[in-house]
Amino acid sequence: MIKLPLVLLSTAFFAAIPAFARALAWPLGPARLLRIGARACSGWGRVSCAILGVRREVHGPIPREGVFLVAANHLSYLDILVLASLYPSVFLAKREIASWPVFGWIARGAGTLFVDRVQPKDVVRAGREMGGILALGLPLTIFPEGRSTPGTAVLPFLPSLLEPAARARVPCWAVSLSYATPGSAEPPSHSVCWHDSRNFATHFKDLLALRRIVARVRFAESPVVSADRKELAQELWRRVSASFEPVAPAGAGAASPSPAPTP
């Protein structure tokens, strides 16, 4: 299978960029280092989507300039590739990803923040780091459901993960994600969504076998700004839920008419 070595090569290439930048850390500074990592992660996302046959269909304006936070529903590790391919950003991810092959390599190098969401103290620690990222003027992407799902509905957003954005009153963009696998007998709720206890390597192998994946990305038309984290969580959840398309179960994987794919 040619996809796996290509993914490994592209990951090694883009992971080397922030590693080289860190070797020159003394003249660059933390903000510039993180920007380099975010751009490397974005390039990795674009190349990986091309290798994996992921066609991105995007609705709504993609935030690109200034400091902002993106809050998305969470279905799969593929979410990171898809969103990274659209704009440079620092991501907040679960702690386990740091030790994964492929994803862990680039995530660590790109400056991804890691959090153990079941440990309140670690959420507080991650919140401080998130505030630092926003204070440096860098975009941040999070998945406030707190875990991935099979794509039947959007879980309530955790206000604690939005505290840094509320405190800094930065613009927060809601985005919903959904997937389809046209021509595949395997439903995307199983082949793309990763929400159960299946081994990562096994799931990734099955994902590599898919010939085509359609990623539907829907951005809200405008951002939300609020100093109240609960209000912010509720409004972002409402906007994501309003545009969310449930992931097709078995027998319903065909793509519906949609805009041209994002280049």
User: Is residue 225 included in any domain, yes or no?
Assistant: yes
Q: How far apart are CA 133 and CA 130, in angstroms?
A: 5
User: Is residue 258 included in any domain, yes or no?
Assistant: no
E strand or H helix at 214 = strand 213-219
User: Is residue 260 included in any domain, yes or no?
Assistant: no
| DSSP state letter for 145 | T
Closest CA to 85 of 134, 61, 50: 50
User: Is residue 250 included in any domain, yes or no?
Assistant: no
The domain in which residue 52 lies consists of 3-243
Q: Which residue has the tokens 């930048």?
A: 21
Residue 85 vs residues 4, 82, 247: alpha-carbon distances, Å:
19, 5, 21
User: Is residue 76 included in any domain, yes or no?
Assistant: yes
User: Is residue 248 included in any domain, yes or no?
Assistant: no
- Confidence (pLDDT) at 156: 96
Label residue 159 by pLDDT band (50, 70, 90).
very high
- Confidence (pLDDT) at 174: 98
pLDDT in tens, 44-81: 999 999 999 999 999 999 998 899 999 999 999 999 99
User: Is residue 249 included in any domain, yes or no?
Assistant: no
Strand order in the sheet with 113-115: 54-59, 213-219, 172-180, 69-72, 140-142, 90-94, 113-115
- Confidence (pLDDT) at 259: 40
Strand 113-115 relative to strand 213-219, pairing:
unpaired
CB 21 within 8 A of CB 28: yes
Label residue 31 by pLDDT band (50, 70, 90).
confident
CATH code for the domain in which residue 183 is found: 3.40.1130
Q: How many domains does the chain have?
A: 1
pLDDT in tens, 227-262: 999 999 999 999 999 999 999 764 443 434 334 334
pLDDT in tens, 89-131: 999 988 877 777 777 777 877 788 888 877 778 888 989 999 9
Residue 42 vs residues 37, 86, 238: alpha-carbon distances, Å:
9, 7, 27
pTM over 0.95: no
pLDDT in tens, 172-228: 999 999 999 999 988 999 999 998 677 888 899 999 999 999 999 999 999 999 999
- Confidence (pLDDT) at 218: 98
- Confidence (pLDDT) at 188: 94
- Residue 237 carries which side chain, given as an amino acid letter? W
- Confidence (pLDDT) at 198: 78
User: Is residue 131 included in any domain, yes or no?
Assistant: yes
